[in-house]
Chain A
């Protein structure tokens, strides 16, 4: 039996092809993939770049716990949660939540739960650098 859940926190660009391969499963009729991408503005302030800082050891444990909750709550066949850290540019992928399940409804629900839980419960912080030379640590509205 292949590993159901794959979680990862690392500075390398997220390998979406590897995530697609992890989600491949003949018994799954639906796959949902959420990609969180660096936006070019925060409200109306142009963003040049940002860094994600992580408490990596705890972040990985929290991701594992979120993936466990997802597989316990929905009949998922595969889960992948990958978050990038370090410096990212506008347009780069910061986070991916992928799920595969026999039917689409639970795939959508579980994926939505996954990204919301990541934004709430995982010790990762975003430091945004703006075009006007200022910078700021962001906080998610949960």
Chain B
């Protein structure tokens, strides 16, 4: 079980700022988007442009996810 933080349009489309995902023990960052898309069909459309952050840093697709990691979906940013 991993808790995933959601922001901006992803948060709105999912209707929640935090969700829990069941992932296999050997899950990697690349597994987050399909898992979210499967559970929240409305979010599927925006996941391809989103990045995944693990422990407050952008993660490569093959970065492993470990128990207790802080995972977040980062849709295209628009600060500044």
Interface on A for B, CB 8 Å cutoff?
36, 52-55, 57-59, 61, 83, 94-95, 115, 118-127, 137-140
A125 and B80 in contact, given A55-B53, A58-B53 (Cβ under 8 angstroms) = no
Q: How far is the CB of A59 from chain B (nearest CB, A)?
A: 8
B-chain residues with CB within 8 Å of residue A118 when the two chains form the complex: 79-80
Q: How many residues on the B side are at the interface (Cβ–Cβ under 8 A)?
A: 19
Say what secondary structure dominates the interface of chain B: mixed
Interface on B for A, CB 8 Å cutoff?
5, 7-9, 11-12, 49, 53, 56-58, 72, 74-80
Say what secondary structure dominates the interface of chain A: mixed
Task: Give the CA-CA distance A126 to B58 in the complex, in Å.
Answer: 20
For this complex, 26 residue pairs linking A to B, each with C-beta atoms less than 8 Å apart, are A52-B79, A53-B7, A53-B11, A55-B7, A55-B53, A61-B57, A119-B78, A120-B77, A122-B79, A122-B80, A123-B77, A124-B77, A125-B8, A125-B77, A125-B79, A126-B79, A137-B9, A137-B12, A137-B78, A139-B49, A139-B75, A139-B76, A139-B78, A140-B76, A140-B77, A140-B79
Determine which of A36, A53, A83, A119 lies in contact with B8 in the assembled complex, contact meaning CB atoms within 8 Å.
Answer: A53
